[in-house]
């Protein structure tokens, strides 16, 4: 019996240390994120930082300590943790997200709001975005928290090329409905159009955390990281998007394939073909 306990202890300790520091800390961070009632960007970052500190303090592994001896090292570890948590941690159940969507995307209780919203949508179909905005704003005069109108105003401004106003209204929408996938995706797209890739990534990461089955978050992150010349991270996100698109039999597979080819060419230039192959193998592609 004593020998069995020793063997089990050895197996458990081996499993713990066979994981990387980032993986162990990310597991703890995921638990923190899931238990946080009011999850926002600040609380999310606190979960990452506190989880890393706790894992280091508990294990006191010399190899782990070497990784965080510099500010650059800490940033790299937190970045990898963020990637793991974003990809693997289910923040809210699908049932909870569906409840939020029904709550914030249901018809208004006010007839004036609904009528203005319907007319605004008709104007969008006619590509008369200025008049659509007028109608949606009339709806907001009566109900300033009507998320569908806020999202559609932002959409109209985006189509008109007025990115600053589009961002303004998407942010208003997200202040009321932080889990809104439409707003998160589109504000990410706009910041990419403005070449503000790091800001865009913050919204795409939140989209990935909340909706891990939605390819758009992974694709947006992959494209931005490619533009930031972070090719290895870019490849992982694009491959994830590709797998989802393939499962959905989406025509967007063509877009992911183009980026994968470009990533390969860039990694080939710096003799990183082997790294490219390792990542594709790890991702099951």
Length of the chain: 285
Does residue 119 contact residue 151 with C-beta atoms inside 8 Å?
no
How far CA 179 is from CA of 96, 175, 201, 218, 244, in Å, comes to: 10, 9, 16, 16, 21
Question: What pLDDT does 18 receive?
Answer: 60
**How many other C-beta atoms are found inside a 10 Å radius of the C-beta of residue 171?**
13
Total-model pTM: 0.79
Does residue 267 contact residue 276 with C-beta atoms inside 8 Å?
yes
Boundaries of CATH 1.25.40.10 in the chain? Answer: 94-198
CA atoms of 207 and 48, how far apart (whole Å): 17
Question: What pLDDT does 2 receive?
Answer: 42
Phi, psi angles (nearest 5°) of residue 244: -70, -45
Under-50 pLDDT residues of the chain:
1-17
Where does 94-198 sit in CATH, by number? 1.25.40.10
Residue found under tokens 């865009």? 200
pLDDT > 70: percent of the chain: 93
Question: What pLDDT does 58 receive?
Answer: 84
**Per-residue pLDDT tens digits for 17-42:** 468 888 899 899 888 988 887 777 78
Q: Of 12, 93, 84, 90, nearest to 52 (Cα)?
A: 84
Question: What pLDDT does 7 receive?
Answer: 38
């Amino acid at each position: 019996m004593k020998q069995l306990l020793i063997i089990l202890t050895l197996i458990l300790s081996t499993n713990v240390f066979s994981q990387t520091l980032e993986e162990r800390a990310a597991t703890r961070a995921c638990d923190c994120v899931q238990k946080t009632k009011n999850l926002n960007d600040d609380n999310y970052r606190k979960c990452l930082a506190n989880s890393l500190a706790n894992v280091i303090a508990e294990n006191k592994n010399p190899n782990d300590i070497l990784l965080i001896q510099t500010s650059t090292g800490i940033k790299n570890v937190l970045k990898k943790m963020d990637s793991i948590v974003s990809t693997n941690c289910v923040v809210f159940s699908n049932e909870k997200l569906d409840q939020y969507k029904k709550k914030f995307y249901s018809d208004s209780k006010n007839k004036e709001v609904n009528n203005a919203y319907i007319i605004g949508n008709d104007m969008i179909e006619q590509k008369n975005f200025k008049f659509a905005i007028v109608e949606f704003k009339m709806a907001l005069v009566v109900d300033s928290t009507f998320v569908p109108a806020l999202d559609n105003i932002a959409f109209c401004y985006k189509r008109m090329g007025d990115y600053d106003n589009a961002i303004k209204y998407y942010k208003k929408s997200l202040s009321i409905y932080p889990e809104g996938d439409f707003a998160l995706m589109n504000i990410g797209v706009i910041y990419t159009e403005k070449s503000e890739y790091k800001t865009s990534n913050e919204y795409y990461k939140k989209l990935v955390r909340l909706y891990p089955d939605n390819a758009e978050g992974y694709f947006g992150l992959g494209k931005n990281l490619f533009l930031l010349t972070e090719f290895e991270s870019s490849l992982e996100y694009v491959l994830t998007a590709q797998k989802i698109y393939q499962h959905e039999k989406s025509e967007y597979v063509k877009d992911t394939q183009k980026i994968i080819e470009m990533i390969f060419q860039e990694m080939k230039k710096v003799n990183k073909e082997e790294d490219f192959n390792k990542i594709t193998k790890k991702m099951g592609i």
